[in-house]
């Protein structure tokens, strides 16, 4: 059986988005237990020259939802960055991304397969197909920002492990 555009994208994004949502919830619980303000994470960075936590969450949203929107419309046009928002707003952002992706049907997403996309991203003009946009642009960027958000929380003392990042694996039934 061939793997469809839907299979490559929606369940893959959802697995990690749900993991991000869960580790944000774990961070909130950790903050409640340790009497730390979760909003202290909003501006946290791994290194001075890297984008802050809030950007990592927002970029994960953009590369999942708006990566698929680019496949649909032919233009990568995520909304403007909202900038620093309270920690609860970041949790809501991930929840909104999950809801948006869960509303997509396999038939709808698969109807976008094989499209030729020429995207203008800043000064760069990039030539993709639907599949290569997802596999070589959206997914790598999405994973980079999701793992960076995880790493920021981890370096700030939130008790997270690899399984928290993996989320629920899509295993076959035995």
CATH of the domain at 66: 1.20.120.450
Q: Report if residue 160 sits inside a domain.
A: yes
Domain that holds residue 11: 5-166
Pairing, β 116-121 against β 124-129: antiparallel
Q: Is the model more confident about 122 or about 138?
A: 138
Length of the chain measured in residues:
174
Write the pLDDT tens digit of every residue in 20-60.
Answer: 999 999 999 999 999 999 999 999 999 999 999 999 999 99
C-alpha distances out from residue 128 to 25, 61, 76, 106, 168, Å? 36, 21, 11, 21, 30
Q: Report if residue 139 sits inside a domain.
A: yes
Q: Report if residue 173 sits inside a domain.
A: no
- In this prediction the pTM is 0.92
Q: Report if residue 102 sits inside a domain.
A: yes
- The total of structural domains in the chain comes to 1
What pLDDT sits at residue 83? 81
What pLDDT sits at residue 102? 98
What pLDDT sits at residue 63? 93
């Amino acid at each position: 059986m061939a793997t469809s555009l839907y299979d490559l994208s929606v369940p893959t994004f959802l697995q990690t988005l749900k993991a991000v949502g869960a580790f944000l919830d774990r961070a909130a619980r950790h903050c409640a237990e340790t009497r730390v303000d979760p909003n202290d994470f909003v501006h946290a960075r791994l290194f001075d020259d890297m984008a802050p936590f809030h950007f990592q969450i927002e970029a994960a949203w953009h590369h999942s939802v708006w990566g698929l929107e680019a496949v649909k419309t032919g233009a990568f046009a995520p909304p403007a960055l909202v900038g620093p928002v309270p920690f609860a707003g970041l949790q809501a952002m991930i929840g909104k991304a999950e809801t948006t992706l869960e509303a997509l049907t396999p038939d709808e997403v698969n109807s976008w397969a094989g499209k030729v996309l020429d995207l203008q991203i800043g000064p760069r003009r990039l030539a993709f197909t639907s599949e290569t946009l997802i596999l070589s642009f959206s997914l790598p960027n999405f994973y980079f920002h999701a793992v960076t958000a995880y790493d920021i929380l981890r370096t700030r003392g939130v008790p997270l492990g690899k399984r928290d990042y993996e989320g629920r694996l899509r295993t076959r039934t035995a």
